[in-house]
Structure 1
Amino acid sequence: MPTALKLTTVQGNSLPIPGVESWHVTAKDPAMLVMTDFHWHSSVTVSENSTIDAALDHMKHTGVRCAFVIDGKMSAVVGMITAYDISGEKPVQHMRLTSTPRNEILVKDIMQKMADWHVANLKDIESATVAEVLKVFTDSDVTHIPVMEKNANNEQRLRGLLSFAKVKRLLVA
């Protein structure tokens, strides 16, 4: 027979604020420690019809540098956009090609379409180390890597996200 759940009291008069404790990883640690797992955490999304400035504001308010782009019907992920996309050359190139004022550029105009994503497979991440993830980032020009898994029907789904900035921030020498 299972043990019954027992309640106790809290010792002391204060506790650390949850979620603000600093934690670090080493190069030998499992890569899963640095992946944002959408099984446990919500992804940040923006509409493809949002302006890039509104998308950047949303990312700043949620504390992320990458958001997944949702189609106009709000029914599917169609791309990804990063703070680097918005703050970099993409808006300038779009303005030059289309004569669109910056404040009218939409997320869908400069987002990374799914066909252009470089993704990792969850099974590979489950057996990789932080060092291996870091090497992929340093060997490529990507700042974020979507992590995919296949469901019971063998269909791909978005399971998580790896962030170069997060890995660098958490990694101790």
Structure 2
Amino acid sequence: MPYHAVPLASITMPARLPRRIVVDGLHLTDDDSARAVMTDFAHVQPVGVARDRHIDDALQDMIQAGVRSLLVIAEGVVIGLITSYDIQGEKPIQFLQGTDCIHESCLHRDVLVDDIMVRWEALPKLSLDALGRQRVGDLRLTFAQHPEWMHLLVIETQDDGACFVRGIVSRTRLERLTDLQKVAA
């Protein structure tokens, strides 16, 4: 059967982009399960980056993947998290001006993911079981009490004691899914 060219629409008036009211098909209330906010790595492939990658390259990785944060991976293990805010904010400048810079020239081109990432030990973590018992309002209150936190890593511990990063809860996604910028009192 022969193919035919697709007929084009003859629209002359300007067109607008649709207004997106609901994110991810969800609109959550404070009483919904907190698990609905988690980006579940059992269903969504997490994006990772090596610790020795230059921060500008890591930012391009984020743009290409459509994400704002990357898990920092070394030898198959999560060792930290880096966000677009980390890269585009003050962290690179503070690193270059501080005593931690051990590069010869201490220029922007020298800054690696490892230099400014949030290390595993400093990342707030929540067990998958605990998250399953919480509500959206509980997460909102937690973020309100810790304004410095932008993410919570969700950890799953298996029967044999092995731990996995099962997902991530983003403050920004939580705010979008609840359509509210205010925090629970």
Q: Which TM-score band (shorter chain)? A: 0.7 to 0.9
Q: Which residue of 2 aligns with 1:96?
A: 97
- CA positional deviation for 1:30: 0.5
1:62 is the counterpart of 2:68? no
Name 1:47's counterpart in structure 2. Answer: 50
- The aligned residue for residue 14 of structure 1 is none
Report the identity percentage: 34
Distance change in 2, residues 1:94/1:117 (3 Å): same
1:75 deviates by 2.5
Please give the residue correspondences for 1:11-90 in structure 2 after superposition, counting only pairs within 5 Å: 22-71=25-74, 74-90=75-91
TM norm structure 2: 0.77
Letter in 1 for 2:171: F
SS of the aligned residue for 1:26 comes to coil
Q: How far, CA to CA, are the matches of 1:123 and 1:76 in structure 2?
A: 21
Q: CA deviation at 1:120?
A: 0.7
Of the structure 1 ranges 158-167 and 130-139, higher mean CA displacement relative to structure 2 is found in 130-139
Q: Are residues 1:129 and 2:129 paired?
A: no
Question: Given the superposition, is the C-alpha separation of residues 168 and 157 from structure 1 closer, same or farther in structure 2, using an over 3 Å criterion?
Answer: same
* Separation in 2, partners of 1:53, 1:90: 13
Q: Runs of 5+ in structure 1 lacking a partner?
A: 1-19
Q: Distance in 2 between matches of 1:64 and 1:132?
A: 25
**Gaps (5+ residues) in structure 2?**
1-22, 181-185
Provide the residue aligned with 1:160 in structure 2. Answer: 167
Larger radius of gyration, structure 1 or 2?
2
Runs (4 or more) in structure 1 with deviation over 3 Å come to none
Find the residue that maps to 2:139 and give its secondary structure: helix
RMSD over aligned CA atoms reads: 1.6
Q: Please give the alpha-carbon distance, in whole angstroms, between the structure 1 residues aligned to 2:97 and 2:29.
A: 44
- Cα shift at 1:77: 1.6
- From 108, 117, 122, the equivalent of 1:116 is 122
Distance 2:169 2:24 in 1: 20
Equivalent-residue separation in structure 2 for 1:26 and 1:125 (angstroms): 16
Q: Secondary structure at the match of 1:100?
A: coil
Amino acid at match of 2:135: T
1:170 has 2:177 as partner: yes
- Provide the C-alpha distance between the structure 2 equivalents of 1:64 and 1:95, rounded to a whole number of angstroms: 26
Of 145, 152, 156, 1:145 maps to 152
SS at match of 2:46: coil
Distance 1:92 1:170, change over 3 A: same
Count residues in correspondence.
152
1:26·1:172 contact (CA, 8 Å) conserved in 2?
Answer: no
Which amino acid in the other structure matches residue 105 of structure 1? V
One-letter amino acid of the counterpart of residue 126, structure 2:
A
TM-score of the superposed pair, with normalisation by structure 1: 0.82
